[in-house]
Amino acid sequence: MPALTAIRGFKDILPKEADLWREVEEKARQVLSRFDFSELRPPIMERTELFQRTIGAATDIVEKEMYTMEDRGGDLITLRPEATAGMVRALIEHNLHEGGRATKLFCLGPMFRYERPQKGRLRQFHQLDVEIFSDAGPHSDAEIIVLLRSFLAELGLPNLSIVLNSLGCPTCRPLYRDNLVAFLANRKNKLCPDCQRRLELNPLRVLDCKSETCQAEVKAAPSFSQFWCPACREHFEAVLQALTGLGLDHQLDERLVRGLDYYTRTTFEVRSGDLGSQSALAGGGRYDGLCRELGGPDLPAIGFAAGLERIIILLNQLKGDPAPGPDYYAALLTPEALSPAFALVQALRSQGLRVAVDWEAGGLKSRLKRADKAGAAKVIMIGPDELASGLVKVRDLRTKEQVSLPLNKPEEF
Ligand code: AMP
């Protein structure tokens, strides 16, 4: 019988990769704590209705990409394709917005979309999701962009660009939408089949269609900035000014729209020049109407999601170095070494040192090979001579320097 493999688009994170994952997650937590965010861990499954109501029925995610199933009680449930919907649901359900201040929340974890897998695109992938509720002002837009940029820059990622647009509000967006539809209707035959459908259901999405013919057609499309109402213009200009004030490079891209229906005003993306076709590392924006639409209070909100797989791909390209191995490998050269070595190894570990060991004695050559394979910095050799003298040999595998240390004094290691 052939051995089973993982589901297509679902990937194992192997032990040799896990250190880097932890580094990225720890950096995220560190930066978020500096910006005064708290963690919320919603479940990875929600009622299907939640995603239909928030993401919007006429989006790729809801139309084609959700993992939806009927549970044994006959309810329709879905593996979350993104985190915002669950975060907002939890916020309302637990009244997390009460307290008179902005509520700043994040979550880290897997998302699920039935997309065509390729480099940087999986069916189970991981996101850092960050949200600010109850702050309508432009400084929270700028702050969340600064936070995202700090997280990526502190991981050491170069070659990043921040791209922004404003999608207007319920006052000015319909005007733009009508103009865009009128413009696109004249070119309908030249659009790809998906965009011909989008024209009816979600015309803004035509602007960021990847097909070359669609891209050529939308080049001359009316730009959103002509339609912003004074309040939207003022808000967006204040966001740009706050970023400029901090010396943060950014570009306006009037073709930047987001896949989800609930965005209003500021939208943004951070892209990397080193990622190929899937260049977006993170994307987000303001969604002032969503809480109310879900039956909650009328809270303004802004958030983003960053894709961890893409960040890891970049860090791997950058570092290439294998993760550091243990501090020590304990080489047992005689069966009598087992019990004194057992005590020494545990004592070293309680001192915070990372120690690898095989609980069987072997020849020096074979143990040195194993120490090398484990990537250990130093090897502790414990054979008959060492047991007789009470002094073990410790060799630095890089410099080849060797010292003798007392077997029963772990604190000297
Ligand atoms: P979105 O939730 O679609 O706005 O995506 C936000 C970020 O999540 C993107 O910029 C990507 O970095 C990442 N992302 C989205 N979809 C996938 C996927 N299928 N596989 C890997 N990363 C993804």
Residue 152: φ, ψ to 5°: -70, -40
Domain boundary among 273, 302, 319: 319
Separation of alpha carbons 55 and 31, rounded Å: 28
Long-range own/partner contacts, residues 91-100 (CB < 8 A, 24 or more apart): 91/40, 91/133, 91/291, 91/296, 92/291, 92/294, 92/295, 92/296, 92/297, 96/40, 96/133, 97/133, 97/134, 97/291, 97/296, 97/297, 97/299
Domains contained in the chain, number: 2
Examine the domain organization and report whether 92 and 239 are in the same domain.
Answer: yes
Residue 259 beta carbon below 6 angstroms from any ligand 1 atom:
yes
Centre of ligand 1 to C-alpha 268, Å, is: 13
Within-domain flag for 191: no
Separation of alpha carbons 115 and 123, rounded Å: 6
- pLDDT score at 208: 82
Within-domain flag for 135: yes
Examine the domain organization and report whether 315 and 342 are in the same domain.
Answer: no
Residue 125 beta carbon below 6 angstroms from any ligand 1 atom:
yes
Helix (H) or strand (E) holding 32: helix 15-34
Within-domain flag for 257: yes
Within-domain flag for 41: yes
Please state the pTM of the whole predicted model.
0.86
In this structure, what token pair is assigned to residue 44?
A: 């990875």
Examine the domain organization and report whether 355 and 310 are in the same domain.
Answer: no
Atom of ligand 1 nearest to the CA of 117: 19
Examine the domain organization and report whether 247 and 128 are in the same domain.
Answer: yes
What would the mean pLDDT of 191-210 be, rounded to a whole number? 86
Q: Give 135's contacts (C-beta < 8 A, 6+ positions apart).
A: 102, 300, 302
Does residue 402 surpass a pLDDT of 80?
Answer: yes
Residue numbers of the domain that contains 91 = 15-172+228-319
Domain boundary among 263, 297, 319: 319
Separation of alpha carbons 313 and 152, rounded Å: 13
What would the mean pLDDT of 166-186 be, rounded to a whole number? 92
Examine the domain organization and report whether 296 and 148 are in the same domain.
Answer: yes
Q: pLDDT tens digit string along 82-122? A: 999 999 999 999 999 998 899 999 999 999 999 999 988 99
Examine the domain organization and report whether 303 and 370 are in the same domain.
Answer: no
Within-domain flag for 205: no
Q: pLDDT tens digit string along 338-368? A: 999 999 999 999 999 999 999 999 999 999 9
- pLDDT score at 284: 95
Does residue 168 surpass a pLDDT of 80?
Answer: yes
Within-domain flag for 393: yes
Does residue 319 surpass a pLDDT of 90?
Answer: no
- pLDDT score at 1: 85
Nearest residue to 145 (alpha-carbon basis) of 166, 162, 169: 162
